[in-house]
Amino acid sequence: MASQMENRHPDRPLIPKRSAAIIAAAALLVAACGRRQSAGGGSGPLHVRIAIGGQNQLLYLPTTLARELGFYAAEGVDAELQDFAGGSKALEALLGGSADVVSGFYDHTIQMAADGRRLVAFVAMLRYPGLVLTTSPSRAGDITRIEQLEGRIVGVTAAGSSSQMILTYLLSAHGVDPASVSVAAIGSAATAIAAVEHGKVDAAMMAEPAYTLMRTRNPNARPLVDLRGAEGVRDAFGTDSYLASVLYANGTWIEANHAAASGIARAIVRTLDWMQAHTPQEIAAKMPPAFRGEDDALYVEALGHAMPMFSRDGRFSAAGAEAVRRLLAESMPKVKHATIDVSNTYTNEFVR
């Protein structure tokens, strides 16, 4: 093709002018259809497909709550929420092109950076991971420390998920070879509770509200690590700052869809602000009944336990990002041996 262009007559267009004009007009039409303008600046709201790594988990509650409060629509965004079994599945949807944005854990941006892919987080929802490593009720008597998980079966939401990544770190930090532990994907809601209660796993990484529901029914289940608050995060990771659930997308998508990314970020920040001004009961009342389960009181209780983990402003901290990179480097060789500038994996441009 290059030689043909070099040898053609300099005054003779490669494509007839009329055809070129038609192609240009068609390209503009396609671009307009694929990237509709917001209500304030064009024909309609911006349609964005958001893949969530377990929509029923409180880790990702702001993503759904923003829709229930009407904040996406108010910001000119038509948000299509897609539910997946875990963060790794949501990431697969993004990489496969069936989603535009992921509501998942920040660590995926660093893992992808180690593979040479540029994913950028553009609004933060949590300041703590919000996970609890707990024993099953039947194993609470003989598993009292992480060191005793060697040779056991431990549940995570999905293979390759952030819950597995954090589990791998915790095992390594306590001198347990991660290869000596069998990992089982148990999901995040009813399937996770059933796996723990029926003893199909010896321990599990659980999130709210599933953990509170399981513990209420099984008070003898033993929490080994609690990452829902500052004290547990400090004990586990040696830091007060740790980036957890965020919204991220391909860097090229953000550059081409600046208005959409900005609208989503503003909607999430408005949601976080709204949450700080309302009680767990008021927040629960806004969530779809299917997410609250059969016991509203337990859902409200779980929300109460989870409230400290939510960000207040949606901003990223350099210390929080570096804490995640350091943790990953200790448990993932590809991150350890890669040169990663974490400042390229997040932006505060949309949450100033």
Calculated CA dihedral for residues 328, 330, 334, 339, nearest 10 degrees:
80
Model confidence at 91: pLDDT above 50: yes
The torsion defined by the Cα of 319, 320, 321 and 327, in degrees rounded to 10, comes to 100
pLDDT band at 43 (very low <50, low <70, confident <90, very high): low
Give the C-alpha separation, 68 to 64, whole Å: 7
Phi, psi of 173 (to 5 degrees): -65, -25
Domain boundary assignment for the chain:
46-128+242-344, 131-226
What percentage of residues in the chain have a pLDDT greater than 90? 81
Tell me if 132 sits within 8 A of 257, measured CB to CB.
no
Spatial distance between the Cα atoms of 261 and 10, rounded to a whole number of angstroms: 43
Beta-carbon contacts of 28 under 8 Å, excluding residues fewer than 6 positions away, are: none
Q: Look at residue 32 and tell me whether its pLDDT is greater than 70.
A: no
User: Mean pLDDT over all residues of the chain?
Assistant: 89
Half-sphere exposure of 63 (CA within 13 A, CB side): 32
Type of residue found at 107: D
* CATH no., domain 46-128+242-344: 3.40.190.10
What is the reported pLDDT for 120? 98
pLDDT of residue 60: 97
46-128+242-344 and 131-226 have identical folds? yes
- The sign of the CA dihedral 324, 203, 194, 289 is negative
pLDDT at position 240:
85
pTM of the model: 0.84
Helices vs strands, H then E, count in the chain: 17, 10
pLDDT, greater one: 20 or 328: 328
pLDDT tier, 17 (very low <50, low <70, confident <90, very high otherwise): very low
9 against 136, higher pLDDT:
136
Report whether pLDDT(15) > 80. Answer: no
Q: Residue 147: pLDDT above 70?
A: yes
How confident is residue 254, by pLDDT bands cut at 50, 70 and 90? Answer: very high
Lowest mean pLDDT among 3-12, 73-82, 149-158, 166-175: 3-12
**Mean predicted confidence (pLDDT) in 122-148:** 97
Residue 41 vs residue 316, higher pLDDT: 316
State the Cα–Cα distance between residues 260 and 19, nearest whole angstrom.
32
Mean pLDDT over 233-252 rounds to 94
What letter represents residue 334's amino acid? Answer: K
In this prediction, residues 233-245 reach a mean pLDDT of 92
Q: Judge residue 140's burial from the number of C-beta atoms within 10 Å of its C-beta, 0-12 exposed, 13-18 middle, 19 or more buried.
A: middle
Q: Which of 13-27, 150-164, 212-226 has the lowest average pLDDT?
A: 13-27
Separation CA 124–CA 142 (nearest Å): 38
Q: Is the pLDDT of residue 126 over 60?
A: yes
Fold for domain 131-226?
D-Maltodextrin-Binding Protein; domain 2 (3.40.190)
**Closest by alpha carbon to 314, among 280, 259, 267?**
267
Mean pLDDT of 60-78: 98
- Please, how many CA atoms are within 13 Å of residue 9, restricted to the half-sphere of its CB? 4
What amino acid is encoded at 112 in this protein? M
Percent of the residues in the chain that have a pLDDT greater than 70, as a whole number:
88
345, HSE (Cβ side, Cα atoms, 13 Å): 26
Position 159 pLDDT exceeds 80: yes
- CA 158, CA 201: separation in Å to the nearest integer? 14
The residues near 230 (Cβ < 8 Å, ≥ 6 apart) are 128, 240, 308
